């Protein structure tokens, strides 16, 4: 993994700056976009794999596996319980071993586990397989957050994160197309098993090239020349968040839990992912409840994915282009999502189109979650601190997704009014938390500006390569 020799930093700075001035495309990061494609493909696959159970439910899994009561909700919840169990160990693992090869191995294993879903034909078997699927998938998002922060500058990270996260939307389009095709299959094998067989096989195959070719850092990127690697290292040093360091520093872990921004973000992520858990598990069933056929439901779910892609790319671009607008964009996304949830809840049953429009607008909350990942990348410095905070935030992600499906009660099918009320309340809470976080960042930056103007600070360009936390580095400023 990447090691920085600060004694050579002057030479590196000179070479990097010269090359960057001669080749502006390299300076902007386009030369190592090869790595982005591996993240995009993997994120698409992991989302399809964890949500294809909703297509199985649409095509008869609940009947064939003899699921009763809220057992389907528990099949969704148990995935995130496994995710919760695996989250912290995966983050620690990624700090100590080859991060992309570890991720490739996990991918191969969860593809094999997904194939086993086709062999499970009762509630207990499905629960066991879903639990292990959650454990194995728990490493993907933390891995990608760390990779993005090591490859891209702070102003580039929102769009880059938005690009690979938008594959969730593409996955819904792809999943909808495949589910529509599955609906036409005539076979002795129960139709609900085909999503597991198809998507599990694709995952196992994709894991092999990812394991072999995905790079854990700019210094290890095989598609970069030696000079381009120097540029890459110099560029990310400007983030002042440090680069790769295998030592686990306990003082940084302690600082993470003493930092108020971390606790605000934890509460934000929990509240934000309660709607995500509900929509991910019950999306097709919600659309069917509007009065559409099963085949029609598979097609009408695809624009939701398309809307997610558009929302993520637009907000990611704006966050990287306009200085200090991230929290404002997040608040805007929440307003759109609350409007959508309110339409689904309040409109009469006969207004199918209006309720469907509300479903599409609800995707606004997804963009706010992605931008919150950008805040972690930009505003948390120190490798151990970032590792701990990333783990804590994805544990919060699990908690929200654990709660979400439990708020959709079978007795309220197909309207799920309690679920809609809970989602509206959670998003309103998120709005308040963002206002508090914005104020906190502004005050911290003003305090540091005042302190720095009163003393002479001598920091060279290597400060961004050292493993200082955001609290330790006096030149660090929080992105708002």
Structural domain boundaries in the chain: 35-214+248-465
Per-residue pLDDT at 222: 77
pLDDT of residue 1: 37
Write down the pLDDT at residue 246.
Answer: 65
- Residue-level pLDDT at 26: 47
Tokens of 236: 């990310």
Do you know the residue count of the chain?
480
Q: Give the Cα separation of 322 and 400 in Å (integer).
A: 30
Q: Count other Cβ atoms within 10 Å, centred on residue 120.
A: 18
How much is the pLDDT for 252?
93
Alpha-carbon dihedral angle through residues 342, 347, 352, 357, given to the nearest 10 degrees: -30
Rg of the chain over CA atoms, in angstroms? 23
Half-sphere exposure of 315 (CA within 13 A, CB side): 32
pLDDT for the residue 24? 44
C-beta pairs of 65-72 under 8 Å, 24+ apart in sequence: 65/120, 65/121, 65/122, 65/123, 65/126, 65/192, 66/122, 66/123, 67/123, 69/410, 70/406, 70/409, 70/410, 71/123, 72/281
| CATH class given for the domain over 35-214+248-465 | mainly alpha
What pTM was estimated for this model as a whole? Answer: 0.79
What 8-state DSSP symbol labels residue 200? H
User: For position 219, what pLDDT does the model report?
Assistant: 77
pLDDT mean by block of 10 residues, the chain; 480 residues: 40 45 46 72 95 90 89 91 90 83 95 95 95 95 86 84 90 91 90 95 96 84 78 72 68 94 97 93 90 89 91 92 93 97 94 96 92 89 88 90 91 90 98 98 93 59 66 90
**CA nearest to 355, candidates 302, 299, 266, 291:** 291
How many angstroms separate the CA atoms of 62 and 239, rounded? 49
Structure tokens at 475: 């030149």
pLDDT of residue 13: 45
Q: What is the pLDDT of residue 7?
A: 39
Q: 247: number of CA atoms within 13 Å, CB side?
A: 10
Reference 57, options 251, 284, 272; nearest CA is 284
Q: What share of the chain is helix, strand, coil (3-state, %, to 5)?
A: 75, 0, 25
Residue (of 2, 55, 13) closest to 173 by Cα position:
55
> How many CA within 13 A on the CB side of residue 232?
28
Q: How far is CA 205 from CA 6, 109, 169, in A?
A: 41, 11, 22
d(CA 382, CA 252): 7
Question: Phi first, then psi: what are they for 7, rounded to 5°?
Answer: -70, -20
How far is the C-alpha of 99 from the C-alpha of 222, rounded, in Å? 15
Other C-beta atoms closer than 10 Å to the C-beta of 248 total: 14
Q: What pLDDT score was predicted for residue 197? A: 96
- How far apart CA 4 and CA 322 sit, in angstroms, is 31
What's the number of CA atoms in the CB half-sphere (13 Å) around residue 57? 25
Contact 444, 478 (CB under 8 A): yes
Nearest CA-CA partner of 82 in 121, 136, 154, 30: 136
Give the pLDDT score at 239: 64
């Amino acid at each position: 993994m990447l090691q920085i020799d600060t004694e050579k930093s002057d030479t590196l700075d000179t070479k990097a700056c010269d090359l960057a001035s001669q080749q502006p495309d390299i300076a902007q990061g386009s030369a190592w976009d090869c790595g982005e494609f591996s993240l995009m493909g993997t994120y698409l696959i992991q989302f399809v794999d964890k949500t294809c159970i909703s297509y199985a439910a649409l095509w008869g899994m609940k009947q064939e596996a003899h699921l009763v009561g809220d057992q389907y909700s528990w099949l969704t919840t148990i995935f995130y319980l496994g995710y919760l169990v695996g989250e912290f160990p995966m983050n620690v693992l990624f700090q100590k071993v080859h991060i992309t090869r570890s991720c490739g191995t996990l991918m191969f294993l969860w593809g094999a586990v997904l194939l086993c879903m086709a062999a499970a034909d009762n509630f207990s078997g499905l629960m066991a397989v879903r639990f292990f699927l959650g454990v194995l998938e728990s490493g993907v998002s933390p891995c990608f957050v760390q990779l993005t922060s090591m490859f891209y500058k702070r102003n580039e990270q929102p769009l880059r994160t938005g690009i690979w996260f938008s594959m969730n939307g593409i996955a819904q389009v792809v999943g909808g197309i495949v589910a529509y095709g599955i609906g036409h299959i005539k076979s002795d094998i129960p139709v609900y098993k085909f999503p597991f067989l198809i998507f599990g096989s694709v995952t196992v195959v994709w894991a092999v090239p990812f394991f072999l070719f995905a790079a854990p850092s700019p210094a290890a990127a095989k598609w970069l020349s030696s000079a381009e690697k120097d540029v890459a290292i110099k560029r990310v040093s400007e983030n002042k968040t440090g680069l790769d360091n295998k030592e686990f520093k306990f003082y940084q872990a302690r600082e993470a839990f003493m930092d108020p921004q971390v606790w605000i973000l934890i509460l934000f992520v929990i509240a934000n992912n309660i709607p995500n858990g509900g929509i991910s598990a019950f999306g097709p069933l919600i659309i069917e409840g509007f009065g559409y056929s099963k085949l029609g439901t598979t097609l009408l779910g695809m624009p939701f994915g398309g809307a997610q892609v558009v929302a993520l790319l637009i907000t990611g671009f704006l966050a990287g282009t306009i200085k200090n607008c991230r929290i404002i964009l997040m608040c805007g996304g929440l307003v759109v999502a609350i409007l959508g949830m309110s339409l689904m809840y309040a409109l009469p049953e006969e207004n199918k189109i209006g309720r469907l429009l509300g479903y599409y607008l609800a995707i606004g909350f997804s963009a706010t979650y992605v931008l919150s990942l950008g805040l972690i990348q930009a505003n948390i410095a120190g490798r151990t601190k970032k590792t701990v905070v990333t783990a804590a935030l994805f544990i919060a992600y699990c908690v929200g997704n654990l709660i979400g499906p439990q708020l959709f009660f079978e007795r309220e099918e197909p309207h799920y009014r309690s679920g809609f009320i809970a989602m509206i309340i959670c998003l309103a809470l998120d709005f308040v938390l963002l206002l508090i976080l914005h104020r906190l960042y502004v005050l911290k930056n003003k305090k540091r500006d005042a302190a720095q103007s009163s003393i002479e600070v001598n920091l060279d360009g290597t400060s961004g390569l050292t493993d200082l936390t955001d609290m330790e580095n006096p030149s660090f400023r929080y992105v708002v």
